[in-house]
Amino acid sequence: MKYPSNKVGNIYIFCMPKGRTGGPEALHQLGSTLRSLGKNAYMVYINCEIPDLQKKRSANGLHDVYEFKKFDDPIVPDYMKYGVPYTYDIIDAPENIIVLPEVWSYWLQFGEHLQKYFWWLSYDNALSFVHASGGWDNFHRHDCRHLVQSEYAKVSLRNHGINEVYPLFDFIGSNYFVPSPSDKRVNRILYNHKGAAPAQKLAEMAPEFIWQPLIGLTSEEVWSFFRTSKIYMDFGYHPGKDRMPREAAISGCCVITGLRGAARHFEDISIPGKYKVEDPEQDAAKVIDLVRDIMENFDDHSDAFEYYRRKILSEREEFFLQARNLF
């Protein structure tokens, strides 16, 4: 494929309208960063199939322009701060780029001349879409550049013969960079509702502590819990370098995870091995011993997460450099 040069035109970043998860936020972060680099980056909010598009000619008659369905208020209020304009028209020209999140591999067939960047914001979440759009051969039939958000995605892609991958990590907002001191924290364990079953069983073994599932809360409520609790526990699938462990750690929590997905890779969740549990149900007694020790010796355990926190603090700068090199 033709990689961008000084003649890069428009960069179109595909995103679901009103999407409010880690993936859509990362896409908006990319748009904001590219615009700070002087690039013509735009969000394109879609939930339509390719045959639903209307094609019209450009004013100069050189390139096709595809017109997308319009949405009222497609941007989540939390992402207005990124200030990325959006468009409903894509010009199919060779100097233009589309950025596709990992769940939209079928969009690789779109556009005859566009450069295509496929961003693996997760790996596990993409698999059903990859198979539905023709399997791994689809990536060989349609040329694209693969960007990865995690070491887990990079390693997994290599298992499918995709060796040329480029890092593009997201970052945690600075609003989380204000941890409370240990004497302001209560003996509370927060846990992700994804993979909650092991945590719920552990809660029965240690009822002396507060066990709080993170579900049905606003972002402000989650942030408040992170700042005033001692432990964040996550036994989910970790399909990518998830935000919640990073948000918890940088807010001052100690983090305990399983070893599934990205959690198995130190590059993605950079915490000492004693805080990662292979089988939280089989090793429940060991986990509870660790929890009790953290509650009693919080400051000592908190120091073990200093490397992870420093990495998180440097993510924004790293993302800026990666985006500059890629686009």
- The mean of the pLDDT values for the chain is 91
Quick one: pLDDT at residue 60? 65
Q: Locate the domains of the chain by residue range.
A: 10-170, 174-313
Bigger pLDDT: 239 or 177? 239
Q: State how far the Cα of 64 lies from the Cα of 279, in Å rounded to an integer.
A: 54
pLDDT of 218 > 90? The answer is no
Q: Which among 244, 261, 259, 33 has a CA at the least distance from the CA of 126?
A: 261
Look at residue 5 in the predicted model and tell me its pLDDT: 54
Exposed/middle/buried for 273, CB within 10 Å: 0-12, 13-18, 19+?
exposed
Residues 6+ apart with CB under 8 A from 183: none
Provide φ and ψ at 320, rounded to 5°: -60, -45
Bridging pattern class, strands 210-214 and 97-101:
unpaired
Mean pLDDT, rounded, for 295-323: 96
Give every CB contact of residue 182 below 8 A, 6+ residues apart in sequence: 230, 252, 298, 299, 302
d(CA 268, CA 151): 6
Question: What residues contact 55, with CB distance under 8 A and at least 6 apart?
Answer: 64, 65, 66, 67
Global pTM reads 0.91
Summarize pLDDT for 149-183 with one digit per residue, the tens: 999 999 999 999 999 999 999 998 877 777 777 88
pLDDT band at 271 (very low <50, low <70, confident <90, very high): very high
pLDDT of residue 4: 56
pLDDT at 111 over 60: yes
- pLDDT over threshold 90, residue 20: no
Mean pLDDT of 233-256: 95
- In this structure, what token pair is assigned to residue 256? 């305990």
pLDDT at 64: 87
The total of other beta-carbon atoms located within 10 Å of residue 197's CB is 10
- Rounded to an integer, the average pLDDT of 198-205 is 93
The reported pLDDT for the residue numbered 2 is 56
For 168, the token pair is 């593009």
| CATH architecture, domain defined by 174-313 | 3-Layer(aba) Sandwich (3.40)
Percent of the chain with pLDDT over 70: 96
Concatenated DSSP letters of 32-48: HHHHHTT-EEEEEE---
Cα separation, 86 vs 44, in Å, equals 6
- The whole-number pLDDT of residue 75 equals 85
HSE (CB half, 13 Å, CA atoms) of 69?
Answer: 13
Fold match between domain 10-170 and domain 174-313: yes
Tokens of 247: 């948000």
Res 292: pLDDT = 97
| Architecture of domain 10-170 in this structure | 3-Layer(aba) Sandwich (3.40)
Polymer length of the chain: 327
Say if residue 2 is exposed, middle or buried (CB neighbours under 10 Å; 0-12, 13-18, 19+): exposed
